[in-house]
Structure 1
Amino acid sequence: MRASDTPARPNGLSGAYRAVWRWHFYAGLFVLPVLMLMALTGGLYLFKAEIESAAYGRMARVDPRADWTSPDRWTASAQAAVGGQAASVFVPDQTDRAVQVKVRAADGERTVFVDPHDARVLGSIEGDGVMGTVKALHSLTLLGRPFNILVEIVAGWAIILVATGIFLWWPRKRDVAVAVPRAGDPKRRPFWRDLHAVTGLYAGGVIAFLAVTGMPWSAVWGDVFLNKMRESGLGRPPAPSAASPWSHAGPHDTPAGTGWTMEHAALHAPGHGEARLSTVVAAVERAGLSRPYTITIPTDPDRAFTAARAVDRAEDARSLYIDGRSGEVRADIRWDQFGVGAKGFEWGIAVHEGRQYGWANRIVMLTGCIAVWLLGISGLMMWWKRRPKRGGLGAPPAPPGPRVRAAVLGIVLPLAILYPLTGLSLIAAVVLDRLFVLLFRWKAQA
């Protein structure tokens, strides 16, 4: 980028407008590539059930029968097929569907499809299959756990993009407020500017919602906020008086399907004798937990098994903590026991994943994902049309004076306080921007 790439003061643009435009440009430059990846994988994940049915339909289907064989035979068959220890079992709600046994094998986790009627193994896939890979890409954990911190940074900057975009769109004396698409030539920049503005106007709220409700999965903010909710009584319910206090389950004993609020929450169930899956399944059925549900098998023999109902609507959630030896239900956790903070975030996650309100919910979230790509492509085309002929980024010029910079701080500072990693990245961006400005001034004077 060179100091002469753009005019010192474009006609009709105030200092505040140029300051916000500059940071909108930088936010898009650094965040949109990752945001577009998350939108692509998120859009695919909305159709998880359909994709998995197409990919593994043959392994997942069985001849429907009324009777089940012993659930202990399910895990025994799965363990014998791939070698390893059973970690969880997904029990479907239809008699023509296979149970899915997650097994920790020497070469990683595998999901084994087992006929519940005769314990015959129908096939297996690595980990959670194709959608497991999509989910890992979406959370960036496929690149390594440390990369998950980018979720918070990208989500925070996505909100900044929406906020600065609204500021730039807002009607002034100039003709900048575009509410409907206008006919134009795709070879010219105004066409892409209008497409960018209209897309951001109508999809900005959905994109901001996706960013905010995606925060619980972030490596830093999500864990801190979850702990604060627990300490304040706004999160998960206290352990029942008849049970031991909640303990933190390690990676291998993390209950599956219990949701963000009950993540890592485990109960002790010390006793004598052998814990059996058949005992747990019988207790789950007696307790009236609706199928489908997932039973997590702890590696620690003194921990309770967890049975969590697989639900679409957040308020239908229910989890049982069961002694694998006696079949005693040590805790029965339902929606009305959650604190108001936990309810809010569980609802947000269900809407984020397109489950809460059926197909309408899914379509709205998909629209947000498509909008991210339209904004990215139109933003790239706008830059391409006005790119500097002598090279460089072609960023909007930096306006002088602290007053105009206050316009940017007024937008981003509250978000930087709420999301600390976004704030740290903002400080780094401000320092780099200042260094660029000083460097280009020095070059211009040399």
Structure 2
Amino acid sequence: MTTTEQTGAALAAPGLLSGAYRTVWRWHFYAGLLVLPFLMLLALTGGLYLFKGEIDGLAYRGLSQVEARPATVSPDRWVAAAEAGTGGKVASVLVPARPDQAARLTVNLPDGGKRTAFVDPHDARLIGVTPFGGVMETVKRLHSLILLGSWANAVIEIVAGWAIILVATGIFMWWPRKRGVGVATIKATDTARRPFWRDLHAVTGLYAGAIIVFLAVTGMPWSAVWGDQVMGYLKDNGLGRPRPPAASPAFQHAGHMNAPVGVGWTMEGMVMPTPDAVGPARLSTALATAEAQGLARPYTVSIPTDPALAWTAARVVQRVEDNRILYIDATTGAVRADVRYDQFGIGAKAYEWGIGVHQGTQYGWVNRTLMLAGCIAIWILGISALVMWWKRRPNGRLGAPLAPPGPRAKVAVLAIVLPLAILYPLTGLSLIVAVGLDRIVSMLNRTRPQAA
């Protein structure tokens, strides 16, 4: 009897595997089938994004490096050089940390596009212009699935929810029982046989499962439904953004063109009016205030198109505790608000901390190494799952584990997936679709003529 025939016989023999085990295995199979392509894409782009600084520095070394000199020209000349060279309007400026680095200016073009202009801060020379954000912006847009279309962002929540289901059902199947499961090391050594790939799959899931779940949960802020709803709840119930200083205007939601950048999730889209602003707003005024207030470089200054709004200067940080945002009247240099991490509500602090760890910056190289290990593990799990399926697939069929009869066997699956379906609405909707497809597949299998 061949390996495929042996596997098929085992699946068909109810006495060899419990009904609960076979049901969980079936849903583990479908969960992988549904999300592994997306999950592997997210792992690949997420792993690359962990090395954003290194990749960006390598890709744009010729544009971002300048000769270090003691003095710089007026920052207003940076803006003039970028706008003259691109024909657009500067929307934000990344002020460099070191004198041998160029200033990076984001420019909005008349046709709605964006560019990144590199300007030497010492003489206002336009070094070069690239597509907005460069290679890492493309990686970021792929990671959030926005590059596939705005609709695809909703897939983030579905994929993250099903990733948790994959880990939970995998642990259920791994858990030691009377039969020989629960391996903690790779025992099989023949890479041509299925047991090796089964052990590799199980051991990888065992040691990396917690990291994968963490990545899935902390990736939820990027989801279109859950992320927006939870952050909205935190902000509306005093668990998120801080209150504005006394006698200052309230924070307001900005339109797309005026939304500040680099301010984090808690203050995302928040602007502050400057109703008594007089005279022209200048980048030099905003930078002079930021420097006088001791805002550590590098930081990003956002320039609103509405002259009645304050400019924001947000520190670029590795640890969330170092977050600081200044709202500056760029006509007078007055500070309208000085927002720091310790002013955030407890919910926003947890949110920001999760994002920092997810991006591998919060705890240095240890943090980045663990997140990278999770990304690599997802690829190992995906490849080993594909090989296992290929080695046991029946001819002309999908090869899903057979569903046992009766409702009792489904209790284990319901205990795993129902809490997640309630917590993550889009995962719940996708679960309903999956149940419907499972019913259709089962009906087709019952009506399929059996081979003699």
- Which TM-score applies when normalising by structure 2? 0.96
Cα deviation for residue 443 of structure 1 reads 3.3
Aligned 8 A contact 2:300 2:315 in 1: yes
Q: Is the 8 A contact 1:244 1:268 kept in 2?
A: yes
Q: May I ask how many residue pairs the two structures share in their alignment? A: 442
What is the identity percentage for the equivalent residue pairs of Structure 1 and Structure 2?
64
The separation in 1 between residues aligned to 2:166 and 2:106, in whole angstroms, is 40
Say whether residues 1:319 and 2:312 are aligned partners.
Answer: no
Query: 1:417 matched to which residue of 2?
Result: 422
CA deviations on 1:157-201 (whole Å, 9 max, x unpaired) are 001101111001000001111101214211111000000000000
Task: Determine if the alignment matches structure 1 residue 148 to structure 2 residue 153.
Answer: yes
Question: Secondary structure at 1:394's aligned position in 2?
Answer: coil
Question: Which residue of structure 2 aligns with residue 109 of structure 1?
Answer: 114
State the 1:445 CA deviation: 8.9
Alignment partner for residue 184 of structure 1, among 189, 196, 219?
189
1:83 aligns with 2:87: yes
Alignment equivalent of 2:357, drawn from 351, 360, 363: 351
Instruction: Measure, in 2, the Cα distance between the counterparts of 1:288 and 1:141.
Output: 36
Query: How far apart, in 2, do the equivalents of 1:373 and 1:177 lie?
Result: 21
TM-aligned CA deviation for residue 5 of structure 1: 6.6
Structure 2 equivalent of residue 299 of structure 1: 305
Partner of 2:239 in structure 1?
Answer: 234
Aligned equivalents of 1:87, 1:410: Cα separation in 2 = 50
Deviation at 1:8, TM superposition (A): 3.0
Q: Which residue does the alignment assign to 1:369? A: 375
Q: Give the equivalent residue in structure 1 for 2:407.
A: 402
Give the equivalent residue in structure 1 for 2:229: 224
Instruction: Return the alpha-carbon distance in structure 1 between the equivalents of residues 28 and 248 of structure 2.
Output: 52
Equivalent residue of 1:103, what SS? strand
Retained in 2: the 8 A contact 1:307–1:320? yes
After superposition, the C-alpha distances for 1:252-302 in whole angstroms (9 at most, x for unaligned) are 222111111111111111222211111111111111100000000001111
Deviation at 1:320, TM superposition (A): 0.6
The question of whether the paired residues in 2 share the 8 Å contact of 1:72 and 1:276 is answered with yes
Check if 1:429 corresponds to 2:434. Answer: yes
The one-letter code sitting in structure 2 at the alignment partner of 1:387 is R
**What is the rounded CA distance, in whole Å, between the counterparts of 1:291 and 1:138 in structure 2?**
27
Q: CA deviation at 1:401?
A: 1.5
Aligned to 1:129: 134
Aligned mate of 1:53, from 54, 57, 61? 57
Residues 131-152 of structure 1: CA deviation (Å, up to 9, x unaligned) = 0000000000011111100011
Please say if 1:40 is aligned against 2:48: no
**Would the aligned equivalents of 1:62 and 1:98 in 2 still touch at CA under 8 Å?**
yes
- Residue in 2 aligned with 1:63? 67
What displacement does 1:327 show? 1.0
Per-residue Cα deviation, 1:291-346 (whole angstroms, up to 9, x for no partner): 00000000111111011000000111000111111111111000110111111111
The residue aligned with 2:27 is 23
**Using the alignment, how far apart are the partners of 1:366 and 1:103 within structure 2?**
33
Is the 8 Å Cα contact of residues 5 and 392 (structure 1) preserved in structure 2? no
How far has the Cα of 1:431 moved from its partner?
Answer: 1.2
Q: Which moved more, 1:322-331 or 1:434-443?
A: 434-443
1:336 matched to 2:342:
yes
- Point out the more displaced range, 62-71 or 132-141: 62-71
Separation of aligned partners in 1, 2:227 and 2:375: 22
Does the Cα contact within 8 Å between 2:278 and 2:332 map onto a contact in 1? no
CA positional deviation for 1:10: 5.0
Q: Which amino acid aligns with 1:190?
A: P
| Contact 1:312 1:350 (C-alpha < 8 Å) held by counterparts | yes
Aligned residue identity for 1:296? S
Please report how far the alpha carbon of residue 88 of structure 1 lies from its aligned counterpart in structure 2 after TM superposition: 0.2
Greater CA drift, 246-255 or 291-300: 246-255
Q: Secondary structure at the match of 1:308?
A: strand
Q: Does structure 2 conserve the Cα–Cα contact (< 8 Å) formed by 1:254 and 1:263? A: yes
Q: Give the one of 397, 403, 408 matched to 1:392.
A: 397
Separation in 2 of the partners of 1:430 and 1:127? 42
1:11 is displaced (CA, Å) by: 4.6
Pick from 115, 120, 123 the counterpart of residue 118 of structure 1.
123
Structure 1 length as normaliser, TM-score? 0.97
Q: Distance in 1 between matches of 2:362 and 2:349?
A: 13
Contact 1:200/1:375, CA 8 A, preserved across alignment = yes
Matched residue of 1:325: which SS?
coil
CA distance in structure 2 between the aligned counterparts of 1:437 and 1:387, rounded to whole angstroms? 17
Could you tell me which of 248, 273, 294 is aligned with 1:288?
294
The AA in structure 2 aligned to 1:220 is: V
| Cα separation, 1, equivalents of 2:264 and 2:289 | 21
Q: Call closer, same or farther: CA 1:194–1:10 in 2, change over 3 Å.
A: farther
Aligned with 2:201: secondary structure? helix
1:443 aligns with 2:448: yes
User: How many Å separate the matches in 1 of 2:437 and 2:369?
Assistant: 39
Uncovered stretches (5+) of structure 2, i.e. residues with no partner: 1-6
